[in-house]
Amino acid sequence: MYLTSFLQWLDATHFSQWIRNSIYGEPIIETVHVLTLTLFLGFAVLLDLRLLGVCLRKRPVSEVLDQFNPYLFCGFAVMIVSGVLLFSGDPIDFYSTIFFKVKMILLVFAGLNVLIFNATIRKKVAEWDLAVRTPKGAKIAAVISLVLWAAIVAAGRAIAYAIPPP
């Protein structure tokens, strides 16, 4: 009940109405969201492929992590802010779709994957940094990441098709 009230309140705000009714609001926010998604995904996929031993094999994993992490964090932060702004423009319709709920659940799993990787496998990166083979746990984390991000993108794209046009 509280969530419904919050969504109705958010939907009625001037900001939400501006995003919905503005010629520029939603397209600009959507463009920022998609561009930061490509920035984030580009670096995330490269990192995952490095963990799988597919590319950048001559570079230590710690070096790749140190070099990519600022771009990953920045891209993710802007992507989250722009996603929240997009949601704010039509919260009731967004929340009513199964694809939005699936996307949110998948984002939680992607975050957990990163937390588990950083709390376990990455802590021992000095031991396997230059090894010919990446540890099994790192490869599993990379595959999970690739699958989750592909599903997150698909669910996000499906949201637009699930919401009826105005």
> Which one has a higher pLDDT value, 161 or 144?
144
- For 46-86, the pLDDT digits (tens) are 999 999 988 887 888 888 889 999 999 999 999 999 999 99
> What value does the mean pLDDT of the chain take?
90
% the chain with pLDDT above 90 = 66
Kindly tell me if the per-residue pLDDT of 160 is higher than 70.
Answer: yes
- Upper half-sphere CA count for residue 84 (Cβ side, 13 Å): 5
Average pLDDT, integer, range 153-165: 86
pLDDT digits (tens, 9 = 90+) for 2-41: 888 999 999 999 999 999 888 998 899 999 999 999 999 9
* pTM of the full structure: 0.87
Q: Is 12 helix (H, G, I), strand (E, B) or coil?
A: helix
Grade residue 166 by pLDDT with cuts at 50, 70 and 90: low
Rg, Å, the chain Cα set:
19
Distance CA 156, CA 141 (A): 22
Q: Helices (H) and strands (E) in the chain — how many of each?
A: 8, 0
**Which residue, chain included where needed, has tokens 């021992």?**
124
For the segment 107-121, the average pLDDT, to the nearest whole number, is 93
